[in-house]
Amino acid sequence: MVSEAIQTVPVGRIGMVMATIRQRIAARSLVAGSRLPSVRVLARSMQVSVSTVVEAYNRLVAEGAILSRPGSGFYVASQLAPLELSALEPKLDRAIDPLWISRQSLEGDESVLKPGCGWMPASWLPQQTIRKALRTVSRGSAEALANYGSPLGLPPLRQLISRRLGERGVEAAPDQIMLTESGTQAIDLLCRYLLEPGDTVLVDDPCYFNFQALLRAHRIRMVSVPYTPAGPDIDALASILAERRPRLYITNSAVHNPTGATLSPVIAHRVLKLADQHGLIIIEDDIFADFEHAPAPRLAGFDGLNRVIQIGSFSKTLSASARCGFVAARPEWIEGLIDLKIATMFGGARLNEELTHAALSDSGFRRHAAALRVRLERARREASERLREMGVTPWIEPRAGIFLWCRLPAGLDSADVARIALASGLVLAPGNAFSVGQTASGFMRFNVAQMDDRVFEALQACLQQALLSHSDKEHAPSAQ
């Protein structure tokens, strides 16, 4: 009887039940040792037959994923449950899932249009400088070519970074600077160093979407503070610090990602007072520093690297291919970070450090950076005009950087627009991918360096398509 049932039930439904159970195990909503729903209960809730569930459970037992205790039920086996970031709660719609968007941008080839990505096209970066640096390093010492880097990292590069930080008002001795693989890896190391499971971390709303993916990997609770054109909303910040007691606050100061806003001195001071009051540590992500014409206030500058930690990298203005980032912090924290770096990566990437140093020391780099700022200013202005013509309105006109954070017309939902766009090979960055509080469904981030005529045309077409299907739903409840 049962075997006939198996033959007539499409594999599809059995597979669906199995996948559902596996998903709950992967997302850790069913943990090792916990009892699975009874066969009848699951059959009813999934609207399949009891024999489908029986077969699915039996196959899961054969796989070792669950155990059967006769008379008692089915239980999750004490089994390997790898950390599947894409399966963790909250399960995000792909169109606004930071991880999924990142993968689309990173995996796409040159034919994929990506005004949603966070980096400039290769042609905007200082190619000649990088080529020259490679040739310089090819003539370097055998040790530079072959040996592990020292734990803190190449001394001349740390001295160079120390000088550059000084130009931005941040005092950091070379030995308070530790080189890392990238800005992202610097923040990751800091999270491993400073946080314990169950801690809460504060981010801006909106914020750089990979912070969210990173914090998911640390199984950390995230809370957010609304961002204004001059920095975080101070009253909201005061409440959140008092109620939620986050351990850490991760933010940008000079060029906020995604809004392009700049932290004002007044708000900087108030943030630091609140941080002192509540024992808050701040990680100030300064990877867009080279995009500024004149330096804006840095939290690390006012604070003197007491409770503020600065991180930076050269991925945005030099090369994302020759990975090099850094942390600047109190000496005792640098000490502890060195140990963690050795344990998890052993030695540094000396070749990348030599390359970066050679490139940054080249006079061509400063000239290139100056020309880049001019080019970006023009690109922001032009993109702003063309977007406004389409009814897409920048929230502010940033004074530096590659991003425009814009409101879509007519109450459109940016996740809908992003989905439509993907079907035509256009990768967009919808607002809620940046928003822990999911308050930005009407917004989208645009990268002005990735926006040529093809992109504007494709965007126009997607907006029109979205407007059509939106007006069809006009009498339906708002998607926001």
User: Contacts with a copy of itself in 132-151 (CB under 8 A)?
Assistant: 132, 134-135, 137-139, 141-151
Q: Which of 193, 234, 369, 377 binds a copy of itself (CB under 8 A)?
A: 193
Shortest approach of a copy of itself to residue 183 CB, angstroms? 8
14-21: long-range contacts at Cβ-Cβ below 8 A with a sequence spacing of 24 or more?
A: 14/52, 14/55, 14/56, 14/59, 15/56, 16/46, 16/48, 17/42, 17/46, 17/48, 17/52, 17/53, 17/56, 18/56, 18/59, 18/60, 20/46, 21/56, 21/57, 21/60, 21/65, 21/66
Q: Which of 15, 33, 64, 437 binds a copy of itself (CB under 8 A)?
A: 64
Residue 83 within binding range of a copy of itself, rule CB under 8 A? yes
Cα separation, 178 vs 175, whole angstroms = 7
Residue 45 within binding range of a copy of itself, rule CB under 8 A? no
- Give the N- to C-terminal CA distance of the chain in Å, as an integer: 50
Q: Which of 25, 30, 179, 322 binds a copy of itself (CB under 8 A)?
A: 322
Query: Residues 223 to 262: which contact a copy of itself by CB under 8 A?
Result: 247
Residue 169 within binding range of a copy of itself, rule CB under 8 A? no
Which span (68-76, 209-217, 236-244, 415-423) binds a copy of itself, by CB under 8 A?
Answer: 209-217
Shortest approach of a copy of itself to residue 273 CB, angstroms? 16
> Which among 215, 180, 191, 181 has a CA at the least distance from the CA of 327?
180
Q: Which two tokens stand for residue 434?
A: 């940046």
Q: Which of 82, 294, 477, 478 binds a copy of itself (CB under 8 A)?
A: 82
Nearer to a copy of itself, 355 or 462 (CB): 355
Q: Which of 4, 89, 107, 243 binds a copy of itself (CB under 8 A)?
A: 107
Nearer to a copy of itself, 247 or 470 (CB): 247
Shortest approach of a copy of itself to residue 203 CB, angstroms? 14
Shortest approach of a copy of itself to residue 68 CB, angstroms? 17
Which span (45-53, 348-356, 375-383, 455-463) binds a copy of itself, by CB under 8 A?
Answer: 348-356
Query: Residues 267 to 286: which contact a copy of itself by CB under 8 A?
Result: 279, 281
Q: Which amino acid is at 428?
A: L
Helices 39-46, 50-63: inter-axial angle, 10-degree rounding: 120
Q: Which residues of 312-338 are buried (b: 16+ CB within 10 A; e: fewer)?
A: bbbbbbbbbebbbbbbbbbeebbeebe
Q: What is the dihedral of CA 18, 24, 28, 34, to 10 degrees?
A: -70
Shortest approach of a copy of itself to residue 102 CB, angstroms? 5
24-29: long-range contacts at Cβ-Cβ below 8 A with a sequence spacing of 24 or more?
A: 25/65, 25/76, 25/79, 25/81, 26/81, 26/82, 26/84, 26/87, 27/84, 27/87, 27/88, 27/89, 27/91, 28/81, 28/88, 29/89
Residue 315 within binding range of a copy of itself, rule CB under 8 A? yes
Q: Which two tokens stand for residue 405?
A: 């954070």
Q: Which of 196, 385, 453, 474 binds a copy of itself (CB under 8 A)?
A: 196
Nearer to a copy of itself, 182 or 384 (CB): 182
Query: Residues 350 to 409: which contact a copy of itself by CB under 8 A?
Result: 350-352, 354-355
Distance of CA 352 to the CA centre of its chain: 23
Residue 347 within binding range of a copy of itself, rule CB under 8 A? yes
Query: Residues 440 to 469: which contact a copy of itself by CB under 8 A?
Result: none
Residue 266 within binding range of a copy of itself, rule CB under 8 A? no
